Amino acid sequence: MKKAPSKHDYPGRLIAVEGLDGSGKSTQVYLLKRWMEMQGLKVFFSEWNSSILVKSATSKGKSRELLTPTTFSLIHATDFADRYERQLVPLLRAGYIVLCDRYIFTAFARDVVRGCPKSWVEGIYDFAVQPDLTFFFRANLEVSLQRILSGRPQLKYFEAGMDLRLSSDPYESFRIFQGRILEQYLAMSADHGFHVIDANQSIEPQQALVRQIVEARIDLPSFASPER
Amino acid sequence: MTARKRRPRRRRIGRREVIVPTPTPKSFYGHGIPGVDSEQLTGKLIVVEGADGSGRSTQIAMLVEWLEASGHATAQVGLKRSNLVSEELENATNGNILGRKTLSLFYATDFADQLENAILPALRAGLMVLADRYIYTLMARDLVRGLDEAWLKNVYGIAPAPDVVFYLQVSPEELVQRNFAKRHSLDFWESGMDLGISSDMFDSFLEYQRRMAGQFQRLQESYGFSIVDGARPVDEVNAELQAKIDSVLAGPQA
């Protein structure tokens, strides 16, 4: 079963940001959201792995290390489907600009690295539409690692891919695991029309480029909130 | 302490020779589970499907006794029993707050967790695994709700094909009677109330069960269930199941 995500014809627009942990994409999407809000646009932000209904199961699975590649994949798909059905689609239909910090490509990359068959994962997510714009923030592994560690003392179990037993050293495991995810992202970059942003740069030039691309591709004034 | 555990019901089971099951190769419906070698799954997977009130749990309890009397170790599995998500799934179904795709994937997660933590280990250990419902119930429920069959088949490509699947067929009218006899009420989901077929629960139950039976008929064509008339006396039904299981254990006859 191979179906590329289909284009949507909702009045809203969907913008996804993708990248490795520590690539700085969350900062970038936050600044993008602020920029849009200040212009008075109808904008909504949705984060990966944030459905409240599914959250307790996901965190239980993670903290007790109950997850296998298959259940890891399915529980994240459940989380995504919940946000998709209850938030993303209704908002797109209502003419919102929806910003997604991680989208289905995160699942494609991670699950395949964990050993799930690509066509199986793509099949599961085939109900999700193709974003109007996808930014991929490409940073070197060392840069990513440093950004993560400057924010908190340790790597998390799953972000370091420790469940894959690649190495008993979390830093080494992180490098191998994230390196493989990067390969997966790069492999799908052309097919899904990623806008690749050099995320080794400082914050401002990246944001300037992102805003420029968004402005060129989306008629922003038409998404203004109604005057109250 | 010499107190013996009392069994609720003691059935006479004739003295049987212990039959060593003939190994038969297992296969997955799709890609299976990463890293699982189907050759190692030496146990037998016996699935009992049917609506609530079709007699599944009674039949399974009798099969367990019979199998153990015959020297086979058994394991019992079912839906909504995973450590991972069963509690959350229960909460979600109580509130009817999830979208259809979400609920479907939630059930798939629950199934996958049971599969990897209960079904596959038991099959590896050579047990007789009795499943109280399997992927077919999950698929039929979703098909009734309009989800895409190809999408469902892809999701459940993780499942091993059972050695035998029994579908206990009981008419919707008879199911109503059995459900009332048991707990004097109809279940929200077993009545398909989320579908808005009718605001009358009785009508909705009958129509929903008819639709479910229709989907099972369709699935039967691709998956080849044994359809068992569940309206007959309990012992008669069980005798039929035993006979079929015996032939599964004996393996394909030359």
Q: Is A114 exposed, middle or buried (0-12, 13-18, 19+ CB in 10 A)?
A: buried
Let me know how many helices (H) and strands (E) chain B has, helices first: 9, 5
Question: Could you read off the pLDDT of B81-113 as tens digits, one per residue?
Answer: 888 888 888 887 777 678 899 999 999 999 999
Tell me the C-alpha distance between A195 and A213, whole Å: 9
Interface test with B, best of A58, A62, A67, A70 (most B CBs within 10 A): A70
Interface test with A, best of B83, B91, B110, B113 (most A CBs within 10 A): B113
The pLDDT of residue B5 is: 47
Q: Which residue has the tokens 């280990």?
A: B121
pLDDT band at B2 (very low <50, low <70, confident <90, very high): very low
**Could you report the predicted ipTM of this complex, rounded to two decimals?**
0.86
Quick check: helix, strand or coil at residue B20?
coil
Tell me the C-alpha distance between A195 and A217, whole Å: 12
Q: For residue A161, what are the β-bridge partners?
A: none
Q: In what order do the strands lie in the sheet with A97-101?
A: A43-47, A97-101, A13-19, A133-138, A195-198
Interface test with A, best of B102, B138, B142, B155 (most A CBs within 10 A): B102
Question: Could you read off the pLDDT of B114-172 as tens digits, one per residue?
Answer: 999 999 999 999 999 999 999 999 999 999 999 999 999 999 999 999 999 999 999 99
Percent of chain A with pLDDT over 70: 98
Residues of A in contact with B99 (CB under 8 A): 81-82, 84-86
Tell me the C-alpha distance between B173 and B247, whole Å: 33
Residues of A in contact with B34 (CB under 8 A): 69-70, 114-117
Question: Shortest CB distance from B157 goes to which of A68, A74, A120?
Answer: A120
Q: What are the tokens at B231?
A: 């309206």
The pLDDT of residue B1 is: 41
Q: What is the DSSP string of A15-76?
A: EEEEE-TTSSHHHHHHHHHHHHHHTTB-EEEEETT--HHHHHHHHHHHHTT---HHHHHHHH
Tell me the C-alpha distance between A135 and A218, whole Å: 14
**A96 close to A223: Cβ distance less than 8 angstroms:** yes
Shortest Cα distance, chain A CAs vs residue B40, angstroms: 19
Please count the residue pairs, one from chain A and one from chain B, whose beta carbons lie less than 8 angstroms apart: 95
**B33 close to B123: Cβ distance less than 8 angstroms:** no
Average per-residue pLDDT in chain A?
Answer: 92
CB atoms within 10 A of CB A105: 22
Shortest Cα distance, chain B CAs vs residue A206, angstroms: 35
The pLDDT of residue A154 is: 84
Tell me the C-alpha distance between A105 and A109, whole Å: 6
